[in-house]
Structure 1
Amino acid sequence: MKQIYETADEIIDGIEDGATILVGGFGLCGIPENVIQALVKKGTTNLTIVSNNCGVDDWGLGLLLKKKQIKKIYASYVGENKEFERQVINGELEVELVPQGTLAERLRAGGAGIPAFYTPAGVGTPVAEGKEIRTFEGKEYLLERAIKGDVSIVRAHTGDTYGNLVYRKTAQNFNPMIAAAGKLTIAEVENLQEAGSIDPHHIHTPGIYVNRMLEAAQENRIERKTVREA
């Protein structure tokens, strides 16, 4: 059985300043919003964040950015976050932009114990600067190193007390790779069930990767609402 916590404030116990935190989600879809808010409240600072992007100014990782609790971020794009853009332009935030597929594979490799891999993505661009390049079957590939973190925080729709997780639809995004790549993995779930209640064929993240769990509701904010004219 996994350790079940009552509040997000309790579940982040032991996460110190300067930690490298891997954060699941894509935009505002599938983000561990309650754990993020707890980190904002605690004031944990000097953080290195690895996530697809930084959400929006007033929600998700944007809240940590606003309080300048992030020192460096690995991401695939800036997205809709104006504060992210402002801090980068003003030299207040260190950023490593990573091609989206490469970011996903670096995280997957970190969880699988693979130290590095070769990919054609980024060859001939600034992404390749300072990296080893080799030719395979007449094509150039650059060496990318795996990413691992001190802490992984993910969001699942359903979990059981063994720690098995199921993500809802596109919330599956980066969550499975990130859940496996941290030394300590924290999962906040919308529906926590008894062990054995989830069909094994439907499990996305096996409980072996999960250390702490929190049952918490999610606001499900929309990053950008687009509606059709009547």
Structure 2
Amino acid sequence: MSVLKHELLEQYFAKDSRRKFLALVSRVAGAGSVGLLAEGQSGSGTSTGTSGTSAANDINILNYALSLEFLEATFWTQFLGQGALPAGVSSFSGLIGTVSGNPPAFTSASFSGASAFAGYPAAFTNGLFGLLGQIRDHEVAHAAAIISAIKSLGGTPTQPCTYTFPVTSVNDLLTTAQTIEATGVSAFDGAINLFSNPALIQTAATIATVEGRHA
């Protein structure tokens, strides 16, 4: 990645606080989703592996993380279009939510014409659009991985929500993404040491590493 691209991404994907994220969610998600994010729990189930209490706690943490991944995956898929399905997954159903209103869908040409990139060559904006597409694919894959982990514990994955994103331009897209993506880093960093199941610690650490690259 060029130094210029790295600096630009740092500008738009700077880390932010969980408080600011929840304030944003109160605007873009339904009340049920806001409650889930604030309380950090959803779904239910019992595990045949670890103790029932530990498994239930792990499932609640995973469902909290899943709600964040749904938000991220839906956000990027809406504005960049669908990308590649994760390995072993045959449909986007259950991996992304729906978006209300009449939100725009952006292309690489949209980025070239955005005021944020005035004066930048098309090669740069095309490359940036492709990089954001990779982030989208990562978020969808993360959602699929967490769903699989919840089911393996005997739990019930929470479901995607209907969102209303305050985005009408590429500039809006990047400003909103600043908060959404940065939260993925802190969420998984904070969750790593809360799991009882060692395998989940590894999964969370892997996702946190990828989220860190996004931020």
Which structure is higher in RCO with an 8 Å CA cutoff and minimum separation 6?
A: 2
Q: What TM-score, normalized to structure 2? A: 0.24
Q: What TM-score, normalized to structure 1? A: 0.23
Q: Which has the higher helix share?
A: 2
Q: Which has the higher strand share?
A: 1
